[in-house]
Amino acid sequence: MTTTKELWENALVELELSISKPNFNTWFKDTHIVRVEDGSVFLGVPSQFARDWLSTKFHKDIVRSLRMLSDSVRNVEYVISRGQKRAQEEPRTIPPPPTELALEPVHQKTSLNPRFMFSSLVVGPFNELAHAAAQAVVRKPGIAYNPLLIYGPTGLGKTHLIQAIGNHFRMQAPDRKVYYVTSERFSMDYVSALQAGKVQSFKEKYRQYDLLIMDDVQFLAGRDKIKEEFFHLFNYLHDGNKQLVFSSDQHPNVIQGLEDRLKSRFNAGMIVSVTPPDHQSRLAIVRTKAAMHNFVLPDEVMEFLATTIEGNVRELEGALNTLMIQFEMRGEPLTINDVKTLLRGSNAAAKKAVSVQEVVKTIANFYGVEEVSIYEKTRRKEVVRPRQVIMFLLREDFRISFPTIGDKLGGRDHTTVIHSCEKIKNDLRSDSVLSNELHQIRLMLK
Amino acid sequence: MKFETTTESLAQAVATASRFAERRANLPVLGCVLITAEGSRITLRATNLECGVEIVVPAKVTTEGTVAAPAGVLSGFLNNSKGKSVTVSLVGEVLKVEGERANASIKTIPHEDFPILPRVSAETSFTIKASDLVRAIRSVAYCASLSAVKPELQSVLVYGDAGKLTTVATDSFRLAEKQMALKSGGSIPQLLVPARNAAELMRVLETVKGDIEIYYNDNQLSTQADAIYYTSRLLDGAFPNYRQILPKEFSTEALVLREDMSSALKSLSIFADKFAQVSLAIDPEKKSLFLSSRNPDVGEQISTVKATIQGDGVAVSFNGRYLADSLQSIVGDSVRLHSNGAGKPMLIKDASDDSFLYLAMPMNR
């Protein structure tokens, strides 16, 4: 259910397209939905001028755009009210209770995602330092570590950490201004401000914040004009003791195309890294994430997830999501085998790079046949089966194309490969021995 | 569209209308005067969405039509054109204005975007002598605040009861209130007319003789004065309850001649500092009012004004301009100053007329 505010904002986006800009700016400024009642939308307008003109000239457009967004809209009525400003300010003075934050989509003013809190972050040796630094920043913004830069490979919770700083800062001081922006968004903002000739308002917009959080600053590298703008913004905020928080995928010193003046500025604050989590932390992450969604998993399944999916927290979450959806669809608890079958096809299992030769070697060894015979044109039963299994695995787990598989395995036609894959797939359904064998082979290939 | 009319009436109507046009509007058509030729007259309209005006001018219309022409250009040209009559015609998108000695072609703007002027139904209204309303507004309008922080103070409060119309304006440093007799429509709720619009209303009514009827509702006020229809937005807000801050009793009362006070304040302003501070000392024994101002860069001045004094002696400082402002609304020959001592506001009244009062806040330093 969208709020009336969102409904009107979306309608305005539609209207802006169909009405000339001067007209739009003149007549739709300060309009808002007062209330919705029995399909009638009561639109608050600032004056009788606006009321008379909107209802004669733009009524059709308004009704159409509202109907497009909400079928229940029958009619639009216009009332003169200037209460909008006050209405907007009120919610800001009362900080929303933390329990409600989870229901909120991205916060409009700050573009922070309220889901990212310190409480939902799993702290382990891999991110302990970053976590401590982030909390210090919340306690003493602008003083403790300024700027704070968190770097590390993708999917390790950098965004989570820096957004948590923003969310906590916002709760702590609702009247202070926080803004979260990705460097990409920042660049786009700048470019569009440049095109519209509104660089000044761009500057003003960014310079008003007490806490500015910028994600993925490495993307600033190589964009000279934007880097320069960023540099000035950095200096302005830093001089004003405003807190700056950044994330990057590399240490700033090794980012290509970043000038020394920027590097040294990053270095002036605190630079902390997050590393891929160890096994214990991964287990803890699985637990927390599962608990967060009230999802009960047997210990062995958690253990399995923590063991098989290494390095990346995001993939861990992805795997967990897959399991949750499956669970919801089936309506019965998942066993460890279910989990293994489910995750086998996913990226998590296929990400290891293994050469075709290795696969052939492993499987030939497994079945006790000679490696060379796999490549030969023999149709001996003891060779055919392993060969089919090889083809199947190459296809299913490593996503190699049918012609390539045929080519690699002694110049066979791709239809042969297709047939083999189909055969194994069919057999798997009834043949538990085969399924077991495949499972073992897969473990060996890891 | 084509019509012919007298230069003077058209020039005057366009000049009036162009005051209502918005020069820096987002919408270009708001910087225009909309001219509609119909029947045996033309109608000029202009609005800045705060207030609007509609003026009817008799004309010989050959072809009916509507056009929107930039207000500044049109009024500038007509103000300087000579001769008795002027012919205006629309050729394509160009408005041709032909006077006796000069012809102009003015680029027009599509008129479809020109808004309609709000009409106020005749249900609630009051009647007053036009010149009285002008005086009521003029007596207080200069006190309205210039800052947009409190929009309700940027307006002139108009209300009425017991056959009297009261106008009030304040910027929280001084306050002026004026009362005038109403012809009809005894009880009027508090109407907040934006000060800028009130000034325009005053100018429109200046030339009107006799009574006018003012229509109002919650959001809009309008009037028809001869050939001019005027309408203004009303502010939605609560004017401070100023009655409760008006002191009822005073420890000192001084009666001075308006002329003396006025000339003293004028010359004091030369020596006033950047806060325009004027110190005022009421001395009952010397039967005088001592006014002084001092600017370290210029020098200082002390003026003595003869006064009839009752009560205790008082020494208090004011912004000299605020004191001088009050005198412009006082028509009688003497002024009564009421004070409650240092740090307290001073009430200024016309000694011979109870309908006007002015309250000035003292300066702290």
ipTM at complex level: 0.74
Whether A381 is covered by a domain: the verdict is yes
Which domain CATH number covers A78? 3.30.300.180
Q: Contact B185/B201 with Cβ under 8 angstroms?
A: no
Q: What is the pLDDT of residues B119-142, one digit of tens each?
A: 888 778 899 999 999 999 999 999
CB contact under 8 A, A47 and B219: yes
pLDDT-derived band at A108 (thresholds 50, 70, 90) equals: low
Give the gap in angstroms from C-alpha A25 to the nearest C-alpha of chain B: 7
Instruction: Indicate the fold that domain B246-360 takes in CATH.
Output: DNA Polymerase III; Chain A, domain 2 (3.10.150)
pLDDT at A96: 30
Q: Contact B51/B204 with Cβ under 8 angstroms?
A: no
Identity of the highest mean pLDDT range in A68-77, A216-225, B82-91:
B82-91
- The position carrying tokens 């006077």 is B99
Q: Contact A210/A176 with Cβ under 8 angstroms?
A: yes
Domain count, chain A: 4
Whether A252 is covered by a domain: the verdict is yes
All residues of chain B having their beta carbon less than 8 Å from the beta carbon of residue A53 are 115-116
Q: Are residues A289 and A261 part of one domain?
A: no
All residues of chain B having their beta carbon less than 8 Å from the beta carbon of residue A81 are 236
In 3D space, the residue among B331, B336, B339 whose CA is nearest the CA of residue B349 turns out to be: B336
Q: Are residues A224 and A260 part of one domain?
A: yes
Whether A97 is covered by a domain: the verdict is no
Q: Are residues A83 and A136 part of one domain?
A: no
Domain end point (choices A255, A273, A291) = A273
CA–CA distance, A377 with A373 (Å, rounded to integer)? 8
Whether A100 is covered by a domain: the verdict is no
Per-residue CA distances from A274 to A137, A249, A291, B194 (Å):
17, 10, 23, 60
CB contact under 8 A, A23 and B28: no
Residue A81: count other Cβ atoms within 10 Å of its Cβ: 18
Q: Are residues A283 and A269 part of one domain?
A: no
Domain end point (choices A323, A349, A375) = A349
Whether A37 is covered by a domain: the verdict is yes
- The position carrying tokens 């619009």 is B197
CB-based contacts of B81: which residues, under 8 Å, 6+ apart?
B7, B11, B97, B99, B100, B101, B102
Instruction: Indicate the fold that domain B125-244 takes in CATH.
Output: DNA Polymerase III; Chain A, domain 2 (3.10.150)
Q: Are residues A391 and A377 part of one domain?
A: yes
pLDDT at A320: 81
Q: Are residues A425 and A364 part of one domain?
A: yes
Q: Are residues A254 and A143 part of one domain?
A: yes
Q: Which residues of B touch A (CB under 8 A)?
A: 25-28, 30, 47, 49-50, 52, 113, 115-118, 218-220, 233, 236-237
Strands A178-182 and A211-215: parallel
Classify the C-alpha dihedral A417-A418-A423-A429 as positive or negative.
positive
pLDDT at A98: 29
Q: Which CATH class is domain B2-113?
A: alpha beta
Cα nearest neighbour of B112 on chain A: A57
All residues of chain B having their beta carbon less than 8 Å from the beta carbon of residue A21 are 26
pLDDT-derived band at A101 (thresholds 50, 70, 90) equals: very low
Give the gap in angstroms from C-alpha B241 to the nearest C-alpha of chain A: 21
Domain ranges of chain B: 2-113, 125-244, 246-360
CB contact under 8 A, A56 and B113: no
CA–CA distance, B321 with B331 (Å, rounded to integer)? 18
Q: How many cross-chain Cβ pairs, A to B, lie less than 8 Å apart?
A: 47
Which domain CATH number covers A114? 3.40.50.300
Residue A72 clears pLDDT 70, i.e. is over it: yes
CB contact under 8 A, A56 and B116: yes
A247-252 average pLDDT score: 85
Domain that holds residue A415: 356-445
CA–CA distance, A396 with B225 (Å, rounded to integer)? 88
Residue A400: count other Cβ atoms within 10 Å of its Cβ: 18
Whether A148 is covered by a domain: the verdict is yes
Strands B155-161 and B188-194: antiparallel
Closest CB to A26 among B27, B50, B52 = B27
pLDDT-derived band at A410 (thresholds 50, 70, 90) equals: confident
Backbone region of residue B39 per phi and psi (left: phi > 0; alpha: psi in -120 to 50; beta: other values): left
CA–CA distance, B92 with B107 (Å, rounded to integer)? 10
**B2-113 with B125-244: one CATH topology?**
yes
pLDDT at A311: 65
3-state secondary structure chain B: CEEEEEHHHHHHHHHHHHCCCCCCCCCHHHHEEEEEEECCEEEEEEECCCEEEEEEEECEEEECEEEEEEHHHHHHHHHCCCCCEEEEEEECCEEEEECCCCEEEEECECHHHCCCCCCCCCCCEEEEEHHHHHHHHHHHHHHCCCCCCCHHHHEEEEEEECCEEEEEEECCCEEEEEEEECCECCCEEEEEEEHHHHHHHHHHHCCCCCEEEEEECCCEEEEEECCEEEEEECCCCCCCCHHHHCCCCCCEEEEEEHHHHHHHHHHHHHHCCCCCEEEEEEECCCCEEEEEEEECCCEEEEEEEEEEEEECCEEEEEEHHHHHHHHHCCCCCEEEEEECCCCCCEEEEECCEEEEEEEECCCCC
Q: Contact B285/B265 with Cβ under 8 angstroms?
A: no
Q: Are residues A264 and A142 part of one domain?
A: yes
A357-362 average pLDDT score: 84
Residue A85 clears pLDDT 70, i.e. is over it: no
Give the gap in angstroms from C-alpha B13 to the nearest C-alpha of chain A: 22
Q: Are residues A416 and A391 part of one domain?
A: yes
Q: Are residues A290 and A263 part of one domain?
A: no
| Residues in chain B, total | 365
All residues of chain A having their beta carbon less than 8 Å from the beta carbon of residue B113 are 20, 22-23
Q: Are residues A237 and A113 part of one domain?
A: yes
Whether A103 is covered by a domain: the verdict is no
Residue A349 clears pLDDT 70, i.e. is over it: no
Q: Contact A142/A243 with Cβ under 8 angstroms?
A: yes
**Single-letter amino acid, residue B18:** S
A78-93 average pLDDT score: 50
CA–CA distance, B188 with B190 (Å, rounded to integer)? 7
A20, A23, A25, A26: best mutation site toward chain B, by most B Cβ within 10 Å?
A: A26
Give, for all 365 residues of chain B, the pLDDT tens digit. 999 999 999 999 999 999 998 877 778 888 999 999 998 999 999 998 889 999 999 999 999 999 999 999 999 999 888 888 999 999 988 999 998 888 999 999 888 888 888 888 877 889 999 999 999 999 999 999 888 778 888 999 999 888 899 999 998 888 999 999 888 877 889 999 999 999 999 999 988 888 999 999 888 999 998 889 999 999 888 888 888 888 888 899 999 999 999 999 999 988 888 888 899 999 989 999 999 998 888 898 999 999 999 988 888 888 888 889 899 888 888 999 999 888 888 999 998 888 999 999 888 65
Which domain CATH number covers A342? 1.10.8.60
**Single-letter amino acid, residue A413:** D
Whether A304 is covered by a domain: the verdict is yes
Q: Are residues A246 and A122 part of one domain?
A: yes
Domain end point (choices A240, A256, A273) = A273
If residue A246 lies in a helix (H) or strand (E), which one and from where to where?
A: strand A243-248
